[in-house]
Structure 1
Amino acid sequence: MKNYIFQKLIYQLVSKLFVFPIYKFVFKGHLIGRENIPQKDSFIMVSNHGSLLDPPLLGHALERNISFMAKAELFKIPVLGFIIKACGAYPVKRGIADKNTIKIACEKLINNNSIGIFIDGTRQKNGRVNRPKQGAALLAFKNQKLLLPVAIVNSNKLIKFKFCIPFFSKIIIKVGKPIKPPQSSSKDHLNIVTMNLQDNINNLIG
């Protein structure tokens, strides 16, 4: 309980003092579809991925402490490692089927903590969902949790320079309607839900 309270305090501190001014004043952040965010139960937020700033911006905009998978190397950086861990992030080794990572994700969902997954697994230059992985759908089936499709628009082109002057893009976060977990863990059912997520997110991006 103490660890949970401490983590919540750190998350709120980082969100309000650091993320809020960046989201609201630098990128003029705007949220559409707040009514689609489940309020009573944990869920799996599934999004496109265009920038390293996506996790804090999404977590702040949705006003939920959403735990994201983060590269294991980031946890070795003294200050950054402490903050992202305190905010609920958990390490994943890229390119390796890490059973411990899946276990942690399941434990968070069981304890009513929502998790965030970038469905492509890595950043995309065009900011869209191009090659979705089935991990989110599988986690949804294992834990019987809703999948929440979310599009973060313009995160792949946050800053543009003109005559050496930086211009910041407006960030728009669009939340779609929750999607039910797959009927089974078969490849066909996982693929149907994964393709549904891809279509939903890309349609939200426009």
Structure 2
Amino acid sequence: MMSFYDFAKRIVQGYFLLFFRYKVRGIENIPQEGSALLCANHISNRDPLLVGVTSSRKVHFMAKQELFRLPIIKQLLPHVGAFPVNRDAVGASTIKTTLKLLKSGHVIGIFPEGHRSKTEDLQEMKAGAAFFALKSRSMLVPVGIIGPYRLFKPVYVHFGPAIDVDAFITEHEDLDGKEQLHLLTELLSQRIDALIHGGVGVDKE
């Protein structure tokens, strides 16, 4: 029997294929087992849905806590992998839920900029994605979303090669935790920026 998540995913895939004709590259870069963080630039409210339907695995996302106060919506959100977050001050419960999911081998979708970019260029990234990756030893997958979203015009999603966090920690074991956090955030930012600006090639035929 098809799960609610898979059913909803097919519906949303149809929506994006019809109206935005999305194109995907690098899906083989998503680890097929074990925990991972899909880390994307943020240009639209549609981004979480687009990352979710183009991923080969179920993706859990943080959703603003206000949505969990809405009738019906609050009952549907857990079925599509969403859990609440206060965007102004991430609380202990959100951190605990995220780490629990990662340590159980799940995939988390995250937008390290924190807010949508008005220019579509990558903004300064927050350290949350690197923090969760270092704490859980999860793979980091940079994701470039290349828009803008325009009806019947393609939007591009490029999953880049994953950053092996275990190897990163071993390579930089001489650094303290704060320095590793900063360096990993910078590395992730560079990888996402390269995807956005075609540094590893995006086919726009």
TM-score, length basis structure 2:
0.86
2:134 aligns with 141
Alignment of 1:6-45 (within 5 A): 9-17=3-11, 19-45=12-38
In the alignment, residue 155 of structure 2 is paired with which amino acid?
Answer: I
Tell me if the contact between 2:30 and 2:56 (Cα under 8 Å) persists in the aligned partners. Answer: no
Q: What's the secondary structure of 1:50's corresponding residue?
A: coil
Is 1:114 the counterpart of 2:98 in the alignment?
A: no
Selected match of 2:193 from 171, 181, 202: 202
**1:39 shift after superposition:** 0.6
| Aligned equivalents of 1:180, 1:16: Cα separation in 2 | 31
Selected match of 1:103 from 86, 96, 99: 96
Selected match of 2:55 from 51, 59, 62: 62
In the alignment, residue 151 of structure 1 is paired with which amino acid?
Answer: G
2:80 aligns with 87
| Aligned equivalents of 2:26, 2:136: Cα separation in 1 | 25
1:52 aligns with 45
| Aligned equivalents of 2:121, 2:67: Cα separation in 1 | 24
Question: In 2 relative to 1, CA 25–185 (structure 1 residues): closer, same or farther, beyond 3 Å?
Answer: farther
| Aligned equivalents of 2:123, 2:55: Cα separation in 1 | 24
Q: For structure 1, which runs of at least 5 residues remain unmatched after alignment?
A: 160-166
| Aligned equivalents of 2:142, 2:63: Cα separation in 1 | 19
| Aligned equivalents of 2:117, 2:163: Cα separation in 1 | 23
Tell me if the contact between 2:27 and 2:56 (Cα under 8 Å) persists in the aligned partners. Answer: no
In the alignment, residue 16 of structure 1 is paired with which amino acid?
Answer: R
Across the two proteins, how many residue pairs are aligned to each other?
190
2:161 aligns with 177
Is 1:153 the counterpart of 2:123 in the alignment?
A: no
Q: Deviation above 4 Å: which 4+ runs of structure 1?
A: none
**1:168 shift after superposition:** 4.0
Deviations 1:150-179 (A, max 9, x none): 11111xx313xxxxxxx4431110011111
Q: Which deviates more, 185-194 or 130-139?
A: 185-194
| Aligned equivalents of 1:71, 1:187: Cα separation in 2 | 27
TM-score, length basis structure 1:
0.86
Tell me if the contact between 1:10 and 1:83 (Cα under 8 Å) persists in the aligned partners. Answer: no
Question: In 2 relative to 1, CA 63–79 (structure 1 residues): closer, same or farther, beyond 3 Å?
Answer: farther
What CA RMSD, in Å, does the superposition of the two structures yield over aligned residues?
Answer: 1.7
2:121 aligns with 128
In the alignment, residue 174 of structure 1 is paired with which amino acid?
Answer: H
Is 1:71 the counterpart of 2:55 in the alignment?
A: no
Deviations 1:53-82 (A, max 9, x none): 111111110132111111100111223322
% identity of equivalent residues: 33
**1:25 shift after superposition:** 1.7
